[in-house]
Amino acid sequence: MSHLDAVPAWVALPAALLLVLAGVLCVVGALGLLRLSNFYQRIHGPAMLNTLGAGCVLIASMLVFGAIEGRPVIHELLITVFVVLTAPVTAILLMRAAIFRDRRAGRTDVPPPAPRPGAPLGRTGERDE
């Protein structure tokens, strides 16, 4: 009898649903990457949806291996923490690098830099640089 035969149906069904949900989330994230028009829009689909898809896979893994081993499995929790902490930071750094690149190239569709706190207000009510 293999380990997979030892997984009860009450564990296998939610794990299978989580894996299907993870696949759907990753496909939607990939479609967002392909269909959206510019980098700033395209970064959101994969950054958010693929992180959720990875979370679903990790929860399914926790369920299955917890049932097989008969004890809680926490390795996946550590992986989840690292994915949840690093994916948004990576997306933010990519977006900041793209904004810096586009400003240096002189593109006009990039928003101007935010005013520095404490800078004096100009005649228009905006802070002078």
Within-domain flag for 122: no
Predicted local confidence at residue 4, as pLDDT: 54
In the chain, the largest separation of any two C-alpha atoms, in whole Å, equals 80
Digitized pLDDT (tens) for each residue of the chain, 129 residues in all: 455 567 888 899 999 999 999 999 999 988 988 888 888 888 887 888 888 898 899 999 999 988 888 888 888 888 888 888 888 888 889 988 998 898 888 887 777 777 777 766 655 555 545
Q: How far is CA 81 from CA 11, 78, 98, 100, in A?
A: 23, 5, 26, 29
For position 35, which CATH number holds? 1.10.287
Q: Indicate the number of domains in the chain.
A: 1
Q: Which domain holds residue 34?
A: 4-104
